[in-house]
């Protein structure tokens, strides 16, 4: 009874914390949120993406220039259908994804430790993780690798206990579906499938027939991806060329091995992991790392414990966990950007399960055993105290810092709403911002706007009819033909500039 009450109370705290002020923090909308959100709306209402593909595995957005993973868009459909298109409805979908991850991780912790309180501690540890919290409140897809990696580990833990080969097949299915969760997952999930089957076959943990069946299931999951790549090869290869140092700029690197090693080792940078976090303000407050520093002793003890299990007991699960932990940066080490731990969000369940193994070793130690519950509560209180400044800053200081950054695109919601109210028939907007076409369509859908919109350059302004409305941040480019009617701060909490609503003059 006590455990049930504690579990329900923990879930209630999770929902209250993760749902709080979703429409205000993060402030405004990131451009990828708008792109994914518009795709969710189109899929919910028409079943097609922005270029007319029917229920695609990937979506094309930003005026046909960007290729994105459709899984996040499908996740948002029920929320958009029930609540309408808004930042809140989209971000609620990510809160749900986070909740699923927590439940899966609690189940994984239980399978490993067979201790209900340690499983609850695992859920709390994940909920307190700064990167997990930030990503579970924004409509972006890096965090979607977490439930699939957690589900894969859960299947392996179940197999370790039961020796039932169906869990290997389910693990393959989870990895196959997870390949659609994020861009690097297309390499990550096959890598972990090969790792799983290699360790199981070498240790005679499964038969060759089971391994072939697992490969077959995984390949079947990839058929929609393969079909899409065949039909849209140019977009697919362009996306890879843009994000990987192997092909960026069409020039091969001079020292590929050293470049790879440098990018690989950057994923273990303690500053990123435990002090400042990701370099982008979308994914970090800049005041906290990816993980809480209080978890470091648990992780170190967990690694030692797993190494002992792998060597002395030949535990396949321990081998898999250690190998997965070592290999986690490999897909991301091929990307052009460094010090971006959000792109390796799949580390979250791997790191935290190592921490749970370490915590189990602490509470199971002979000199602690009689006071295990007290020690467990003490450890969790230390982590809760350490996380408190992060949560306070996230809801207070972080929004003020974030509005000054272009990643959240300023006060576009109020600007587009204002011009739609001024001109119900249609409006124009300055082509200065290449993302504004997506934002215009997003806000038109969100407000049920029936008018039209179109991007223009200053050189085209003379073609517009008298009375035409224009939204711009460069009013000086249009001042000869337009009158300023209304200005809106670009950032409501401390403007860097203004959005200006202008109206085309009539004949003098």
3-class secondary structure per residue, 187-201? HHHHHHHHHHHHHHH
pLDDT given at position 508:
54
What distance in Å separates the CA atoms of residue 360 and residue 298, rounded to the nearest whole number?
9
Mean pLDDT of the chain: 90
DSSP H helical ranges for 396-472: 397-402, 412-422, 436-446
Enter the DSSP assignment of 314: -
235 with 328, same domain?
Answer: yes
Q: How far apart are the first and last CA of the chain?
A: 81
Average pLDDT rounded to a whole number, residues 432-457: 89
Domain of residue 237 covers 2-402
- Range with lowest mean pLDDT among 52-56, 60-64, 323-327, 344-348: 60-64
CA dihedral over 86, 89, 94, 97, signed as positive or negative: negative
Average pLDDT rounded to a whole number, residues 253-275: 88
- Contact indicator for 148, 176 with CB cutoff of 8 Å: no
Q: Which residue has the higher pLDDT, 69 or 350?
A: 350
66 with 209, same domain?
Answer: yes
What distance in Å separates the CA atoms of residue 127 and residue 315, rounded to the nearest whole number?
28
How far is CA 336 from each of CA 259, 264, 331, 343, rounded to the nearest angstrom?
Answer: 10, 12, 11, 11
> 424-456 as b/e, with b when 16 or more CB fall inside 10 Å?
eeebbbbeebebbbbbbbbbbbbbebeeebebb
Is the confidence at residue 471, as pLDDT, over 80?
Answer: yes
The backbone torsions φ and ψ at residue 504, rounded to the nearest 5 degrees and listed phi first, read -65, 130
Residue among 310, 183, 328, 200 at smallest CA distance from 241: 183
393 with 436, same domain?
Answer: no
Instruction: Identify the H or E element spanning 500.
Output: strand 498-504
> 238-247 as b/e, with b when 16 or more CB fall inside 10 Å?
ebbeebebbb
* 495 pLDDT tier (thresholds 50, 70, 90): very low
376 with 488, same domain?
Answer: no
pLDDT given at position 426:
94
Q: CB neighbours (10 Å) of residue 407?
A: 14
* 252 pLDDT tier (thresholds 50, 70, 90): low
pLDDT given at position 216:
97
CA atoms within 13 A on the CB side of 188: 32
Residues 70-92: tens digit of each pLDDT: 999 999 999 999 999 999 999 99
- Contact indicator for 368, 309 with CB cutoff of 8 Å: no
344 with 414, same domain?
Answer: no
Q: Which residue has the tokens 């899409």?
A: 228
What distance in Å separates the CA atoms of residue 204 and residue 351, rounded to the nearest whole number?
27
pLDDT given at position 339:
74
Q: Which residue has the higher pLDDT, 109 or 62?
A: 109
Partners of 501 in beta bridges:
471, 486
Q: State percent of the chain over pLDDT 70.
A: 94
Is the confidence at residue 248, as pLDDT, over 70?
Answer: no
Domain count, the chain: 2
pLDDT given at position 336:
72
Is the confidence at residue 431, as pLDDT, over 90?
Answer: no
pLDDT given at position 393:
96
Is the confidence at residue 64, as pLDDT, over 70?
Answer: no
Residue among 355, 343, 354, 353 at smallest CA distance from 272: 343
Question: Helix 296-312 and helix 347-363: axis angle, to 10°?
Answer: 80
391 with 417, same domain?
Answer: no
Is the confidence at residue 290, as pLDDT, over 60?
Answer: yes
270 with 157, same domain?
Answer: yes
433 with 474, same domain?
Answer: yes
- Range with lowest mean pLDDT among 5-14, 253-262, 328-337: 253-262
Residue among 421, 407, 429 at smallest CA distance from 473: 429
- Range with lowest mean pLDDT among 163-177, 271-285, 426-440: 426-440
Q: Which residue has the higher pLDDT, 347 or 233?
A: 347
Partners of 386 in beta bridges:
none
pLDDT given at position 494:
46
369 with 428, same domain?
Answer: no
Is the confidence at residue 453, as pLDDT, over 80?
Answer: yes
Residues 340-398: tens digit of each pLDDT: 888 889 999 999 999 999 999 999 887 777 788 889 999 999 999 999 999 999 999 99
Query: End of a domain among 352, 372, 402?
Result: 402
What distance in Å separates the CA atoms of residue 49 and residue 57, rounded to the nearest whole number?
10
Query: End of a domain among 402, 431, 451?
Result: 402
Is the confidence at residue 95, as pLDDT, over 50?
Answer: yes
Query: End of a domain among 375, 402, 429?
Result: 402
Instruction: Output the six-digit token pair for 392.
Output: 């306070």
pLDDT given at position 492:
52
Enter the DSSP assignment of 247: T
SS3 call for 468: coil
Instruction: Output the six-digit token pair for 375.
Output: 């020690």
Residue among 418, 461, 459, 412 at smallest CA distance from 437: 412
SS3 call for 506: coil
Enter the DSSP assignment of 465: P
- Range with lowest mean pLDDT among 242-246, 372-376, 458-462: 242-246
102 with 135, same domain?
Answer: yes
pLDDT given at position 83:
96
* 480 pLDDT tier (thresholds 50, 70, 90): confident
Cα angle: 402, vertex 408, 409; to 5 degrees = 125
388 with 477, same domain?
Answer: no
Average pLDDT rounded to a whole number, residues 151-158: 97
**Beta-strand relationship, 58-61 and 66-69:** antiparallel
352 with 437, same domain?
Answer: no
């Amino acid at each position: 009874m006590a455990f049930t009450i504690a579990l329900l109370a923990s879930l209630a705290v999770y929902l209250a914390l993760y749902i709080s002020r979703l429409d205000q923090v993060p402030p405004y909308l990131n451009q990828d949120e708008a792109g994914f959100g518009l795709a969710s709306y189109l899929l919910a209402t028409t079943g097609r993406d922005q270029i007319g593909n029917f229920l695609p595995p990937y979506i094309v957005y930003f005026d046909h220039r960007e290729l994105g993973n459709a899984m996040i868009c499908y996740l948002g459909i029920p929320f958009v259908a029930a609540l309408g298109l808004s930042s809140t409805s989209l971000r609620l979908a990510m809160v749900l994804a986070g909740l699923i991850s927590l439940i899966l991780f609690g189940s994984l912790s239980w399978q490993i430790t067979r201790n209900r309180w340690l499983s609850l501690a695992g859920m709390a540890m994940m909920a307190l993780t700064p990167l997990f919290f930030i990503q579970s409140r924004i409509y972006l897809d890096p965090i979607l690798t977490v439930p699939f990696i957690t589900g894969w580990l859960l299947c392996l833990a179940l197999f370790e206990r039961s020796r039932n080969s169906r869990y290997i097949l389910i693990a393959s299915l989870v990895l196959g579906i997870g390949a659609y969760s994020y861009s690097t997952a297309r390499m990550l999930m096959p890598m972990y499938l090969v790792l799983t089957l290699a360790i199981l076959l070498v240790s005679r943990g499964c038969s060759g027939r089971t391994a072939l069946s697992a490969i077959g299931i995984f390949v079947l999951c990839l058929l929609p991806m393969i079909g899409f790549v065949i039909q849209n090869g140019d977009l697919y290869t362009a996306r890879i060329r843009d994000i990987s140092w192997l092909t960026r700029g069409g020039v091969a690197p001079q020292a590929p091995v050293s470049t790879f090693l440098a990018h690989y080792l950057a994923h273990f940078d303690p500053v990123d992991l435990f002090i400042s976090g990701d370099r982008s303000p979308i994914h970090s407050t800049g005041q906290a790392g990816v993980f809480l520093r209080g978890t470091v002793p648990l992780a170190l003890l967990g690694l030692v414990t797993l190494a002992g299990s792998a060597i002395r007991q030949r535990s396949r699960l321990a081998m898999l966990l250690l190998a997965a932990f070592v290999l986690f940066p490999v897909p991301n080490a091929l990307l052009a950007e460094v010090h971006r731990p959000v792109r390796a969000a799949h580390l979250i369940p791997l790191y935290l399960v190592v921490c749970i193994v370490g915590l189990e070793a602490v509470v199971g130690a002979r000199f602690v055993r009689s006071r295990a519950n007290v020690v467990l509560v003490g450890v969790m209180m230390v982590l809760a105290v350490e996380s408190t400044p992060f949560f306070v800053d996230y809801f207070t200081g972080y929004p003020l810092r974030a509005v000054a950054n272009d990643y959240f695109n300023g006060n576009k919601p109020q600007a587009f709403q204002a011009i739609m109210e001024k001109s119900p028939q249609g409006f124009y907007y300055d082509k200065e911002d290449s993302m504004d076409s997506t934002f215009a369509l997003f806000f038109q859908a969100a407000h049920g706007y029936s008018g039209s919109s179109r991007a223009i350059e200053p050189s085209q302004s003379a073609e517009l009819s008298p009375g035409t409305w224009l939204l711009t941040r460069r009013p000086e480019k249009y001042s000869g033909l337009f009158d300023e009617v209304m200005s809106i701060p670009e950032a409501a909490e401390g403007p860097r500039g203004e959005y200006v609503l202008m109206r085309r003059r009539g004949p003098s």
